[in-house]
Every structure is written in C-alpha cells, then in structure tokens.
Structure 1
Amino acid sequence: MNKTTAPQRSSGEKEALLSNVALLYYGEGLTQGEIAKRMKVSRATIVNMLRESRELGVVEIRVDGHFLTGSNLARELREKFSLEDVYVAQPASETVRMSRAQSLEQLARVAAMAVLDVVEPGDRLGVAWGETIMAVADAMPRNAVPDVEVCQLIGSMISERVPASENCTIQIANKLGAQCFTLHVPGLISSVELARQLCAEPTIQMQMERLKSLDMAIYSVGNVTSQTHLVAAGMTSEEALADAVAAGAVGILCCRYLSADGAQIDLPPQDRLIAADVADLKSARKKLLVVCGTDRADATLACIHGGLATHLVVDKPLALALLDV
C-alpha cells in the first residue's frame, strides 16, 4: 500500500482489508504501530482503518479474556522455535466448536495479511497448491507491490477439492499486481522417462531454474493420513502412502514426503513430479508456512525443524499443540 495515495478498491476488497487489520489488532493483540510497520503505512492510517472497521460493522467490540492470549501464543511460538514471526488465528468464540472449513476461512484471512507483511518490492515469490493456499489467495485484498514475480511451485494439477494448481499462483499474482510465471507442464507425469524428457526441455528448464532462486515461498504442509490431498488428487495410492509412512514420512510438502527432521524422502511419485523440491524451498530467504488443524502438528514440526519456515500462520488449537511438544 502506498503511504500517500491509497489504491482504489471495491467495497468487498476494502472490507477484507479492514477485517485483516482488525484481526491483527483485536485478535493477535498487535499495537497500531506494529501493524503500521508490517503494512508499511503510517500509524494514523491504521487508526483510521480501525475506526472505519467499527463504523462499518466489520468489528463488533466485545471483551473476552481468551482473546488476550493470542499475542502471547504468537510470541511464545516465535521464541520457542526461533522464527521471525508467527500469526495465530483466534476463534470467534471459545465455546462454539468451529468446523474445519470455518477455521480455514479464518486462518486464510490472517495468512492473507501475513503475505502482505512479508513480501517486499523486487521479491521472487513461489506459490504452492492446495485448499489452504487457495483459501489464502481468495482472502487476499488487492495490494500492489512493485517489481514482484510470482512463480508456480507445482505443475498443473486439478482435484475435486481444489481448482487447477495454477489458479493459486495466478490469483496471488493478480492481487499483488505482479508478473506471473506458471509451469506449463503437468505436475505429475505418466512415466519416469517422460518426466526426465520434459525436464530436459529448455522452456521447462528455464521455468524450474526460477524456483532455485526464490526470495519468498508460500505453502502449507499436509499430513500422511489416507485423507491427504496427494491421495485425493490421484497422485499416489493408499498403499504407496503406507510405504512412505513406514519409511518415516510425517508430512507432505509440495507433493514431496518429509521426514520428522524436514528432509525430503525420495519415494514415488517424486520421480514423476515436476515441482519445486525441498532444497528449492529451503533456500528461499522467507518461507511462509500456513497450516490449519492439530492433525498436521507433526508435519508442521517437520517443516520447522527442517528450516522450512521463517514465518508461521496457524490456528489456535495447532498453536497450543506446538507449544506442548
């Protein structure tokens, strides 16, 4: 956001931005000055945005002691795992159980603000695929950042849960006013030999080379249960997944298996994948990991231990589970 002239926004985009600011202030307990620093605007702008969010009914002020723990949770996680920053999505009510869809929607709004906090002019940004990243892309307001490149981390894939993988990349690029580089090849190839041949093509080589020099990457991590997206998308079988678990896999990152220490486990279908590998992601200066649900605690810890997270966005139940480890 420009400090002097705010871009024109639709009413929906404006409300989304106001909601994100309100979540940081009322939900996470950040000061107006801290929010202003993250958003790269003046403190007066944040004051006005908070006032407007109350006037429009985006925020209903209600004192609840549980919300005061949000900022402490984030700070404790940041200190425990030596992370640069942590964002904790707070539930609307401590007494009403939220569905996963509701938790994910709330987490995505917080993560959308985190993206705008972390991305900087001139960054090359890698974007993964999945229901969590698609939710983040949907929640992001339009906020142009100069000279940003957005690159697709996983070749084209589609599943019943999530639209084509390039949708995540294209939508985030549009929201940031960035140049977009999609991977013009399927994410999973029918044979190992064909995958090798495609990767040898100059155009694909050039696209994959961009993924080795990322400034920032945005991704989530999946668990290794039979409900994982890797199985749902038809990229592996339950039998192959069981073999990976037996070999020590605790999480799935960009369709690649992770061990408990965050190392890549080279098991099928990795030899038929066209996607960033774990080393590409680890080399990025800024790694924004967005995770919803305690069933992904082990996978989240694997990313943290493997140096695959500098910035973390989690829901409150997962935050508490990570602190209990």
Structure 2
Amino acid sequence: MSTGRRRSAGGMGPDIVVEVAWLYYQDGLNQKEIADRLGLSRATVVNHLQEARAQGLIRITLTSPAFVQHGLARALCDRFGLRAAYVVPDEGLDVEERFRRVVTGGALWLPMLLAPGDRLGVAWGRTIHDLAEALEPHSIPGMTVLQLVGSMATPYGFTSETCSTLLAQQLGARCVNLHAPAILSRPALAAELRNEPIIRAQLDQLLTVNKLLFSTGTALPDSHIVLSGLATPGDLERNIAKGAAGVICGRFVNAEGQPIPDDMEERMIGIPLGHLVGLEMGILVTPGHDKVAPSIAAIRGGYVSHLVTGASVAEAMLVA
C-alpha cells in the first residue's frame, strides 16, 4: 500500500470503505493517519467508518471479564447469592439509552452462558425481543428455544412467539412455540384447551427447560402485562391488594417472589412458575430502575442465578 496516494473525489465505493475499516480497526491507525495514507479528508474517513458499521462490516466485541468482574457485579453476587452478574456502565444515560446498553450487554453475554443441548425457556416482552435482535448469529448444537407463555399481542408491534422465534434463529436452534392464547376468559375453557393433545404435548416440552431467559415486569398501571391485555386494570388492582411486587412470565408475584393465588393462573396457558425455580441457570435482564423491586423479588424467589443490568440499577438494587 503506497503512502500519500490520492483517491478520486468520489471515493465512496465498497473497496475504500473496507480498506479504511481495516486500517482503523485491524492496523490501529488513527483517522488522521488514514487520511494522510489514502489522500482523503478526515471527514471522509469518518464517513467511511460510519458506513462500515452501518453495513455490518465491523463487529465490536467486549470481553465479558471486564463486566462480570466489575466491583458492582461482585457486590450483587455477594448480596444476593448470584453465581455471576454482568454490569454495564450507564452513568449519565437517559432511560432509552440505558435500556439499549443493558440489552446489548445481555446479547453479548448470553452465548457464553449456553451449551450444546440446552433447552432455553424464554419469556416475552420488549427486553427479550430487542436482546434477540441485538444478538450476533451463533450455532449451538442441539439447542432448543421454548416459548414459556402463550400468544398475545404487545404494544410494541410484535407477538410473544416472535421473541422465541427470533432468538432461536439467532442461535441456530430448534424452536418450540406455544400455539395457544396466553389467557382465556374462563378457567374451564383454559383447562379444556390445555388437555388438547397438541397443546398438551407443547406444555409437556416446557417442563424440560434447563435454562431461563427473562425480564421481570412491574406491578404498575403502565405495566406490560396490562398494556398487552393479559391483565385488566381490575386484575392489577386486585393483585396489588394481595401484595404484588412484580410479574414473572405473566404471573404476579409478591416481594419474596412467590406466586399470588388468583384465578388468572387458572385461566393462563403456559409453564407454571414452580417449574422455573432452581433451574440450572436463570438469566435475568434488568434494564431500568422501575424493575428494581420486581428483580429483587425474582432473585428471592429462586428464579435467578445470573443477572445483566446497568451500574446505576445495580447500585439501586444494593441499597433497596
């Protein structure tokens, strides 16, 4: 590669984008050095680097030790008896930026927690959906992803089975979706549907999960469980009166992570919460301060062995 060569004024073809990206990320040259070497303006170099990222030519991976050995990660493990925690910096970020950073951290860490033959049960919601979108494609032999709660629409424009399907695609895994509504109007109708052979076979497969990926929901009026139509405002008010502190896989739980008895459980189609306690691994993704209390409840209830969160949320959990 000659020094000081000039590029044409256009210089925007795919070859120059790749060359600039290689010099910056692989050879370690700074933007001025690249501009001088290729005879470009520094602004053009910046544009080429942005184009390389936009085209997916660049994959930046941060190694997990920096995050699992973070002081706050160790403190969370000590305080709550977790096996590991992954804490990303989030100081000074707004709510949406904090959410995006934690979800990206979860997507980077998840493949390291999975093994051939795993049967990963997944909940639904924006956190899991966006984590699946952020996940780089992998191929884990014999992997199965299972949808833990029946189908419903969400306020974000996707259905619950989209989460499990997308995650399975990214992991090169087999997908087992639950082809039934998440909740029905009457307990008798739900019991009848659960006994249908196809649904029964799918429900039986859910009982074989060995790892869980989820995010807790809140017991607030704007909770995902209400916005999705799974629970009515009356259901929410009734369960709050019974001590609801959060939501796990569509079920209200109290501050100790124990399911709250309610006829909602009798009307739901999905895995009973008791089967998600004490699994080989429970991976909880907590992107916001509104989920501090529900996340602590999930940990107390025995659903969590691994936690992904931001530094400010970790600090809030430690003093709660």
Q: Give the TM-score of the pair, scaled to structure 2.
A: 0.79
Verify the 8 A CA contact 1:213 1:284 in the aligned structure 2: no
1:127 positional shift: 1.0
1:212 positional shift: 1.4
1:78 aligns with 2:77: yes
Following superposition of structure 1 onto structure 2, how do residues 143-292 of structure 1 map, counting pairs within 5 Å?
143-292=138-287
Distance in structure 2 (CA, Å) of the matches to 1:13 and 1:247: 49
> Please, which runs of 5 or more residues in structure 2 have no aligned partner?
1-52
Instruction: Say if 1:12 and 1:189 are closer, same or farther in 2 by CA, change over 3 A.
Output: farther
Aligned amino acid, residue 77 of structure 1? L
Aligned amino acid, residue 85 of structure 1? A
Verify the 8 A CA contact 1:235 1:269 in the aligned structure 2: no
Distance in structure 1 (CA, Å) of the matches to 2:317 and 2:111: 25
Verify the 8 A CA contact 1:214 1:285 in the aligned structure 2: no
1:101 positional shift: 2.1
Verify the 8 A CA contact 2:102 2:309 in the aligned structure 1: yes
1:161 positional shift: 2.1
Distance in structure 2 (CA, Å) of the matches to 1:297 and 1:273: 26
Structure 1 partner of 2:89:
90
1:315 to 285, 288, 310: 310
Count of residue pairs the alignment pairs up: 268
Query: Where has structure 1 moved over 3 Å in runs of 4 or more?
Result: 10-15, 23-26
Aligned amino acid, residue 306 of structure 1? G
1:240 positional shift: 1.9
Distance in structure 1 (CA, Å) of the matches to 2:198 and 2:55: 38
Which secondary structure state, in structure 2, belongs to the residue aligned with residue 225 of structure 1?
coil
Verify the 8 A CA contact 1:195 1:272 in the aligned structure 2: yes
> Please, which runs of 5 or more residues in structure 1 have no aligned partner?
1-9, 31-70
Verify the 8 A CA contact 1:13 1:142 in the aligned structure 2: no
Which secondary structure state, in structure 1, belongs to the residue aligned with residue 277 of structure 2?
helix
Q: Give the TM-score of the pair, scaled to structure 1.
A: 0.78
Aligned amino acid, residue 90 of structure 1? P
Verify the 8 A CA contact 1:124 1:216 in the aligned structure 2: yes
Instruction: Say if 1:131 and 1:190 are closer, same or farther in 2 by CA, change over 3 A.
Output: same
Aligned amino acid, residue 169 of structure 2? N
1:110 positional shift: 0.6
Identity value in percent? 31
Distance in structure 1 (CA, Å) of the matches to 2:275 and 2:68: 34
Structure 1 partner of 2:292:
297
1:266-297 CA-to-partner distances (Å, cap 9, x unmatched) read: 22422211112211211421100111212211
Distance in structure 2 (CA, Å) of the matches to 1:218 and 1:97: 25
Instruction: Say if 1:133 and 1:198 are closer, same or farther in 2 by CA, change over 3 A.
Output: same
Distance in structure 1 (CA, Å) of the matches to 2:188 and 2:273: 22
1:22 aligns with 2:62: yes
Aligned amino acid, residue 219 of structure 1? F
Aligned amino acid, residue 157 of structure 1? M
Instruction: Say if 1:261 and 1:29 are closer, same or farther in 2 by CA, change over 3 A.
Output: closer
1:247-282 CA-to-partner distances (Å, cap 9, x unmatched) read: 011010111011111111122422211112211211
In terms of Rg, which structure is larger?
2
Pairwise CA RMSD? 1.9
